[in-house]
Amino acid sequence: MEGTKPKIKLAVYWAAACGGCCVSVLDVHEKLFDVIEAADLVFWPIALDTKYEDVENMPDNFIDVTLFNGAIRNSENEHMAKLLRAKSRILVAYGTCAHMGGIPGLANLFTREEILQRVYSECESVVNPEGIKPVPEFEVKEGVISIPVFYNDVRSLSQVVDVDYFIPGCPPQTERFVEFFTDIITGAELPPIGSVVGADTKTQCEECVRKKTENKKIKKFFRPWEIEDDGVTCFLEQGVMCMGPATRAGCGHRCIKGNAPCKGCYGPPPGATDPGAKMMSAIASVIDEKEPEEINRVIEDIADPAGFFYRFSMPVSLIRRKIK
Amino acid sequence: MEFKPRIVAFLCNWCSYTGADLAGTSRMQYKANVRAIRLMCSGRIEPTFVLRAFVNGADGVLLCGCHPGDCHYQDGNYRCLRRFLLLQKYIQQMGIEAERLKLEWISASEGQQFADLVNSFTETITELGPCKIKETMKLST
């Protein structure tokens, strides 16, 4: 078409992900027409019938922006991460799994062998008397068939390839993605490489809509269903564990507004390298006990510290996997 | 080669570091495995410090502060105690032995206690052997 601006080429890929990030891109709703007007979707497994081969045949830096969601869990994920890195001018770690490892990253609490054992032998719903387990390569009479190699460690995208931008969230807030996308298509100045975009620099607590006093004193922690939430008071002050103090704002408080405590999917605020450690520090500060036995009684309520404090961030945390 | 544990000790300025200083000026002999880091208060010890010490190769981490009630800043040592207990639970979940992280109160006059503590903690860690964290942290696929 004459006189129209050249479209940018957009790719979306999922690695070890649930699909929610791809859906969050679809959540642009009628703005999708604006997106399509400005961008050609060249690769998007959830929506388009494009093959890996098509990507392999693209020249380097052919794709302008790739939204990569999902963690790196197996050799296929790693291959696609490296391939898309080579083919993309801007590679965006889109969503918590690509950003920090996300929920799949909790698998780092176990080894590959433990996971395969649980899934293929021990799980209550499994009937597998021959003890068949997946192997990367298997010989049949037609030749060798192969499946991706299942890794021992789950990694975030930036632990495998260089990443230009990070858009956090499980899934990212669609409006924030549109803002970033608009910046790209209008040619606005982009933040420095390696920035977290589509999020704020403050913590959740600083922007929280709930009422808080500075006097947090907790003698017992509750699971959300154990208390009658008044819908107004800070969750932590009510004794409900909320990741707000150690989580970046920018999500629009979707959980808080839905009367659920923050789970921490937006990751740590700038400057905090280890979100769980920051949260442990905050939690320890609000416990209102001085005797070790009493403190332990309060801590007892935190059934799974690693799972709670590092729900989304285990692969990028300091102790990024369970020690064998 | 004989295993020489590496121990990082976080000592508060007002009591524990002074206590360690007393052990030194009184020429008390104690094991040289401890790397002392002085902080203004044991309440300044962030969980990140402890985890980073382990990740960077510490076999044991020692936290020392003023006795309960004696904190120069009123309640920093209680903060330290609560973080310590929470950390204990977390590191065990991640496969680090609880014995590798220890909290003791050392006052400015307790030079001997500090020397004894360093000796006994070094012994505990020597028996436990090297922390496997460095090995595990190498990315394996």
Residue A275: per-residue pLDDT: 86
Q: A32: distance to nearest CA of chain B, Å?
A: 38
**Does some domain include residue A321?**
no
**Tokens standing for residue A123:** 């799980």
Q: B14: distance to nearest CA of chain A, Å?
A: 20
Asked if residue A305 and residue A216 are part of one domain, the reply reads yes
A111 with A152: CB under 8 angstroms?
A: yes
Omega of the bond leading into A268 within 30 degrees of 0 (cis): no
Quote the percentage of chain A above a pLDDT of 90. 77
**Could you report the per-residue pLDDT of B121-141, keeping only the tens digit for each?**
999 999 999 999 888 887 655
pTM of the model: 0.91
Pairwise CB contact (< 8 Å): B90 & A153: no
Pairwise CB contact (< 8 Å): B94 & A306: yes
Residue A217: per-residue pLDDT: 87
Which of B:74-133 have CB within 8 Å of A? Answer: 78-79, 81-83, 85-87, 89-91, 93-96, 131-133
Could you tell me if A304 lies within 8 Å of chain B, comparing CB atoms? yes
Asked if residue A165 and residue A19 are part of one domain, the reply reads yes
User: Domains in chain A: how many in total?
Assistant: 3
Pairwise CB contact (< 8 Å): B90 & A155: no
Asked if residue A251 and residue A236 are part of one domain, the reply reads yes
Flag whether pLDDT at A186 surpasses 90: no
Asked if residue A135 and residue A270 are part of one domain, the reply reads no
Query: What's the 3-state SS for A13-79?
Result: EECECCCHHHHHHHCCHHHHHHHHHHEEEEECCCCCCCCHHHHHCCCCCCEEEEEEECEEEEHHHHH
Flag whether pLDDT at A28 surpasses 90: no
Residues β-bridged to residue B36: B9
List the single residue in B with minimal CA-CA distance to A306: B90
Residue A212: per-residue pLDDT: 86
Residue A4: per-residue pLDDT: 65
List the single residue in A with minimal CA-CA distance to B132: A323
Residue B141: per-residue pLDDT: 55
**Does some domain include residue A322?**
no
Could you tell me if B137 lies within 8 Å of chain A, comparing CB atoms? yes
**Does some domain include residue B2?**
no
Q: B87: distance to nearest CA of chain A, Å?
A: 8
Q: B128: distance to nearest CA of chain A, Å?
A: 15
Asked if residue A134 and residue A61 are part of one domain, the reply reads no
Could you tell me if B35 lies within 8 Å of chain A, comparing CB atoms? no
Q: The domain containing residue B91 runs over which residues? A: 7-137
Pairwise CB contact (< 8 Å): A153 & B141: yes
Pairwise CB contact (< 8 Å): B141 & A274: no
**Does some domain include residue B1?**
no
Query: What's the CATH code of the domain at A31?
Result: 3.40.50.700
- Spatial distance between the Cα atoms of B111 and B15, rounded to a whole number of angstroms: 10
Strands A137-140 and A8-14: unpaired
Asked if residue A28 and residue A120 are part of one domain, the reply reads no
Residue A163: per-residue pLDDT: 97
> Mutating which of A76, A157, A319 best tests the B interface, going by the most B Cβ atoms within 10 A?
A319
- Please identify every stretch of chain B with a pLDDT value under 70, giving residue numbers as ranges: 139-141
Mean pLDDT (whole number) for A106-131? 94
Q: Which stretch of A57-61, A215-219, A289-293 has the lowest confidence by average pLDDT?
A: A215-219
Give residue A213's pLDDT band: very low, low, confident or very high (50, 70, 90): confident
A13 with A84: CB under 8 angstroms?
A: yes
Asked if residue A286 and residue A247 are part of one domain, the reply reads yes
Pairwise CB contact (< 8 Å): A284 & B48: no
Q: A85: distance to nearest CA of chain B, Å?
A: 20
**Could you report the per-residue pLDDT of A252-276, keeping only the tens digit for each?**
999 999 999 999 999 999 988 888 9
Asked if residue A310 and residue A192 are part of one domain, the reply reads no
Asked if residue A262 and residue A162 are part of one domain, the reply reads no
Give residue A127's pLDDT band: very low, low, confident or very high (50, 70, 90): very high
Q: The domain containing residue A236 runs over which residues? A: 204-316
Q: How far is CA B28 from CA A146, B22, B62, in A?
A: 65, 9, 19
Pairwise CB contact (< 8 Å): B87 & A302: no
User: Domains in chain B: how many in total?
Assistant: 1
Residue B139: per-residue pLDDT: 63
Query: What's the CATH code of the domain at B103?
Result: 3.40.50
Quote the percentage of chain B above a pLDDT of 70. 98
**Does some domain include residue A324?**
no
Asked if residue A158 and residue A141 are part of one domain, the reply reads no
Asked if residue A263 and residue A217 are part of one domain, the reply reads yes
Asked if residue A283 and residue A303 are part of one domain, the reply reads yes
